[in-house]
Structure 1
Amino acid sequence: MFEEQAKTLRDRVASLSQEAIAKKNPSGWFEPLYAEAGGDSEQVPWAKNQAHPYLQDWLAKYPSQTKGKSALVTGCGLGDDAEILASIGYRVTAFDISSSAIAWCKKRFPESTVDYQVGDLFALNSDWQNKFDLVYECRNIQALPLNVRSQVIKAIALTVAIKGTLLIITRHRDNDTIADGPPWALSDQELAQFVNLGLSEIRRDRFIESGIQQHRIEYSQLRDIPYLLDFGQTAK
């Protein structure tokens, strides 16, 4: 029964994403998915109702000073990752393109200090450029087709403050492997774009989950990148 439900949900995700791609709105499938879930997190395939275990592990293994530090959570979903970062002292801004997801976050965490916003990776708030001490990106890039990856990678890289940290969690594929999704796993060639944008890879941890390669990559922003000023428009 569980396997049948999981397959039905995967098929629905594939259908929604293909419809969105056909309409040239590759991130447009998240809102109908969250809206259709109707408050049932089991209908959101990536929802864990707790912080992602790879994030929890990273926070435990590599503790750092958080007091007074700012953090951005991209595609925050139901808010668990944003909440754990806030709980250890970060001033957290978290956004999702789905207004239903953001409303869900605010309902789940009515006393939260997190600034939850509706936002679009393709049109981020220009005030966010080089702003955040920690930027956390978990599995959003892999949910988008390959032809828009460079734009999204650039947008994320631009939010990291000088001497700030970018933490990426993603499925991983070999460079010569054809991506099949959603999700479409990232290759080293795609991830190298972060380095080309001025970030330095600090460490990479590898995991196997259900037979699939998963990478957690920590980058540091060591310099300003003023030549990349076409950051985007103010988020909705």
Structure 2
Amino acid sequence: MAEDPDVVSRRIAREALDRDDPTGWFEHLYSAASEGTAVVPWDRGTAHPLLSEWIDESQPDGTGQTALVIGAGTGWDAELIADRGYDTTAFDISPTAIETARRNHPDSKAHYVIADLLAPPDEWHRAFDLVVEIYTVQALPIPLQASAIEHVGELVAPGGTLLVIQAARPDDQADADIEGPPWPLTRAAIDSFATPDLRMIQLTESPSPVDPTVLRWRAEYLRD
């Protein structure tokens, strides 16, 4: 029987963490998936349902606006954003993920690039009208999450929107009790995306359709 994809991804992540390489496991996982020896647990073959839900509710018109998709993986979320008319940049730290995204979407309007959320290009600072962050922060070890959250917020342009989708956990659940990945976010962590000029304007918590015991945050922020 094939191993559970979550078990495989955790083993690959643990090996990287043991090498003091907390982000290196993304490339190892995508590379193994491309060779058929692993499955990327979050690669759904379609855009995330909570992103699709937000699109249906908000009906954004991206004409003349820019968007950035963080941790784009194989590109399904970026394709949905690009289809709304945004000039879309989508990045991942994994070269194999970006290569796969380009191969999956040969006629894409999105620009797929390799980049690191923890060290983004200077020209991206407050440069995007829409920033979409789905499951990247929670895939990072808890000690890195505060820095990642800060970097996410600094990508949003004045007047821009940030959409964040993450797995949820109770505030009273100790960090030591979480065996990631993922390392789900507390309400306090979700609140910490907000700054004096980046205001949370909507927050929902909903169960996963696959496992109702797993809750997910969907948060929207607006930069003044």
- In the superposition, the TM-score normalised over structure 1's length comes to 0.88
1:83 equivalent to 2:79? Answer yes
Q: In the alignment, what sits opposite 1:115?
A: 111
Deviations 1:120-161 (A, max 9, x none): 111101100010000000011111111011111111110000
Q: In the alignment, what sits opposite 1:132?
A: 128
Q: In the alignment, what sits opposite 1:94?
A: 90
1:161 equivalent to 2:172? Answer no
Deviations 1:46-98 (A, max 9, x none): 11111111111100011133111110000001101100111110100000011
Q: How far off its partner does 1:163 sit?
A: 0.9
Instruction: Calculate percent identity across the aligned residue pairs.
Output: 35
Equivalent-residue separation in structure 1 for 2:33 and 2:150 (angstroms): 31
Q: Which runs of 5+ in 2 are unaligned?
A: none
Q: How far off its partner does 1:115 sit?
A: 0.7
Q: For residues 56 and 39 of structure 1, do their structure 2 counterparts lie closer, same or farther at Cα, with a shift above 3 Å needed? A: farther
Equivalent-residue separation in structure 1 for 2:120 and 2:153 (angstroms): 12
**What SS does the corresponding residue of 1:54 show, helix, strand or coil?**
helix
Q: For residues 197 and 72 of structure 1, do their structure 2 counterparts lie closer, same or farther at Cα, with a shift above 3 Å needed? A: farther
Equivalent-residue separation in structure 2 for 1:29 and 1:109 (angstroms): 24
Q: In the alignment, what sits opposite 2:198?
A: 199
**What SS does the corresponding residue of 2:169 show, helix, strand or coil?**
coil
Give 2:200's aligned amino acid.
E
1:55 to 40, 44, 51: 51
Equivalent-residue separation in structure 1 for 2:107 and 2:61 (angstroms): 24
Q: In the alignment, what sits opposite 1:231?
A: none
Give 1:142's aligned amino acid.
Q
1:212 to 211, 214, 222: 214
Equivalent-residue separation in structure 1 for 2:193 and 2:123 (angstroms): 20
**What SS does the corresponding residue of 2:203 show, helix, strand or coil?**
strand
Equivalent-residue separation in structure 1 for 2:73 and 2:104 (angstroms): 12
1:185 equivalent to 2:187? Answer no
Give 1:132's aligned amino acid.
F
Deviations 1:178-206 (A, max 9, x none): 24121111012222222236311111122
Q: How far off its partner does 1:41 sit?
A: 11
Equivalent-residue separation in structure 2 for 1:89 and 1:204 (angstroms): 25
Residue pair 2:134, 2:164 contacting (<8 A) in 1 also: yes
Q: For residues 148 and 40 of structure 1, do their structure 2 counterparts lie closer, same or farther at Cα, with a shift above 3 Å needed? A: same
**What SS does the corresponding residue of 1:163 show, helix, strand or coil?**
strand
